[in-house]
Structure 1
Amino acid sequence: MTDAPAAIAELIEIMARLRHPETGCPWDQVQDFASIAPYTIEEAYEVEDAIAKGEPAVLMDELGDLLFQVVYHARMAEERGWFAFHDVAKAISDKMIRRHPHVFGEAAARTAEGQVGAWEVQKAAERAARAETGTLAGIPARLPALTRAAKLTRRAGRVGFDWPDAASVLDKLEEEAAELRAELSNEQQAADHEAIKDEVGDLLFVLANLARKLDLDPEDCLRGANRKFERRFGFIEQKLLFEGKSPADSTLDRMEELWRAAKHHERSGR
């Protein structure tokens, strides 16, 4: 097995050399937190994709890329005198110990449900220590919008502000759809672009809530729909190719016909 401390030390040293102001990599030298942040997010999604593929070697590689992002941010912070990688590691170790007293301290919350409650109590205390007040405090603004919608309403639900069941959310969805239809039928539609945008936002927000009430991840639902669309549209393109055509050469009616064929093909293959 690889010596873990030595491997981490080597990675930290590689990052330091890349950032060296005189002998480092020209690209790495000019990066900052804002420019690196999109790569950090991208690497997290690539980890998720590797997990979905079930390929251990790919997962190991992607986890390495994600770890490198942590080292990158820690190095930039160290250059500013804020903190270093070892401070990051110590902070998360301390946090995990605080949040798991049933493992590292007092014997309590032995059930999964009990631990969730204890975890939330500890997080609330940490938010209070950071002077973050209010039920919705601490939910990152830069989360994917559907994920953030689910988190916001889950947090509100813990204090009783929630729909009683999924059926109630469906009723709300119909209400929001009707409001959008009303805006779209407005003769002053061009002038009401912001109103239409607002109604579409409300519709998406309710859909995120519906997924939450059904114990589903709204982002995962949409990713599944994206994959399904790609798969079915690829089917359309293949069939049109056999006919010597491309989608641009075809008609909407023909593509709709092939779309239905793609759906039938998927269902018959189950």
Structure 2
Amino acid sequence: MPITAPITAHTPSAAFERLLTIMDDLRINCPWDKKQTLESLRHLTIEETYELSDAILSGDMDEIKKELGDIMLHLVFYSRIASETDDFNITGVLNGICDKLINRHPHIYSDTIVANEEDVKRNWEQIKLKEGNKSVLGGVPASLPALVKASRIQEKARGVGFDWDNKDQVWAKVEEELQEFKDEFNHVNEADIDREKAEGEFGDLLFSLINYARFININPEDALEKTNRKFIKRFQYLEGKASENGKQLQDMTLAEMDVFWNEAKKV
């Protein structure tokens, strides 16, 4: 006998209850859902997060809505699995985040006075230290992609006042790091280049550029991803034009490819 599906809800609380009911049904009756563990869902959650990121960058609101639903399902799924071993449940998860938000917004729920967004961030980091964090940087996940991690490290350091005074100082640091990186390759003999040191200087250069981006309110991850997409679009235009002319890219000169590449910039 099929199970009666819960009807469409029209309030946030009822819609959430509907999802919980469906999750219970699937966990009990679906062979695939019954097999899942916290570990088996992990890589799927990462994939869903990247799909949401793609949808946001594309500005596709219908797709964003769908991907948010997928992630919401995963959050409920994790909580359902944990409830089976009495570790925690969805009620505890929701109350936990509510309590944290109340505690970390004393300018809303208590008598703390803030002047601006920077005061809010500074208070947030100080409260986290009082909650038991041994380091301001302790909350930065080790497995974050390096570009995102650099941004988070810099934001958190700024939250406790460890930062440059103005963007001119940061740009001077970029130029300094660029020169140090160039110096590592300023050898007539390639064999004299210390590759490990050069890699370190390149990392310092990237870190300083990310810092400058933060000062001028550019998200470096978003900026680089938009450039990636732009390059892909133009390169695929180049491939298409080459094919139309019965050519393979590897058989074309760079000058020939540049003709189509410049066309792609106008499309």
TM-score band w.r.t. shorter chain: 0.7 to 0.9
Residue 262 of structure 1 is matched in structure 2 by 264
The counterpart of 1:89, out of the listed 94, 98, 106, is 94
Shift of 1:87: 0.8
* Match status 1:175 vs 2:181: no
Q: CA RMSD, aligned part only? A: 2.9
The counterpart of 1:66, out of the listed 54, 71, 75, is 71
Q: Quote the Cα distance in structure 1 between the aligned partners of 2:122 and 2:166.
A: 23
TM-score by length of 2: 0.80
Q: Quote the Cα distance in structure 1 between the aligned partners of 2:161 and 2:107.
A: 28
The counterpart of 1:4, out of the listed 12, 24, 29, is 12
Q: Quote the Cα distance in structure 1 between the aligned partners of 2:202 and 2:39.
A: 30
Which residues in structure 2 correspond to 1:125-204 (within 5 Å)?
125-129=127-131, 131-184=132-185, 185=187, 186-188=190-192, 192-204=194-206
1:212-247 deviations in Å (ceiling 9; x for gaps): 111111101101111111122122123212321132
* 2:236 counterpart letter in structure 1: G
Q: 5+ unaligned residues in a row in structure 2: which ranges?
A: 1-8
Shift of 1:205: 1.4
Match of 1:124, SS state, is: helix
Runs of 4+ in 1 over 6 A off after TM superposition: none
* 2:191 counterpart letter in structure 1: E
Q: 5+ unaligned residues in a row in structure 1: which ranges?
A: none
* 2:15 counterpart letter in structure 1: A
CA distance 1:165–1:201, shift in 2 (3 Å):
same
1:95-145 deviations in Å (ceiling 9; x for gaps): 222333444454844x6x1x652454244223332x212332322223332
8 Å CA contact 2:122–2:160 kept in 1: the answer is: no
1:1-38 deviations in Å (ceiling 9; x for gaps): 62433432332243344444xx5424x44443344233
Q: Quote the Cα distance in structure 2 between the aligned partners of 1:182 and 1:18.
A: 61
* Match status 1:209 vs 2:217: no
* 1:187 counterpart letter in structure 2: A
TM-score by length of 1: 0.79
* 2:19 counterpart letter in structure 1: L
- % same residue: 36
